[in-house]
């Protein structure tokens, strides 16, 4: 991984700074500690989709609530 990081940092010197590719390289390098933690500890999830899903209401439930609110008269 150290060799890959060195390579990525070197590539940034050859890529136009405002290009999408350079942005992608900088994004990855700025999150290096998270990437290496994921690779070193198998318990760490690569994404947080499960946490995000638990925070969002069920789509069907919220749609049903919106329809019910439209049908009921306002107090």
pLDDT digit string (tens) for 3-44?
999 999 999 999 998 999 999 999 999 999 988 888 888 888
| pLDDT tens by residue, 40-71 | 888 887 787 877 777 766 656 566 677 777 77
Distance CA 62, CA 9 (A): 46
**For 9, phi and psi rounded to 5 degrees?**
-65, -40
Task: Note whether 46 and 38 are within 8 A (CB).
Answer: yes
Q: What is the pLDDT of residue 35?
A: 85
**CA-based nearest residue to 32, from 11, 6, 50:** 6
Whole-model pTM: value is 0.56
Q: What is the pLDDT of residue 13?
A: 93
């Amino acid at each position: 991984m150290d060799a890959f990081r060195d390579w990525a940092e070197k590539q940034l010197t050859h890529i136009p700074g405002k290009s999408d590719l350079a942005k992608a390289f900088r994004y990855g390098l700025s999150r290096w500690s998270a990437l290496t933690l994921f690779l070193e500890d198998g318990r760490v999830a690569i994404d947080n989709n499960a946490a995000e899903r638990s925070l969002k209401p069920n789509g069907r439930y919220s749609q049903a609530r919106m329809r019910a609110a439209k049908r009921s008269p306002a107090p």
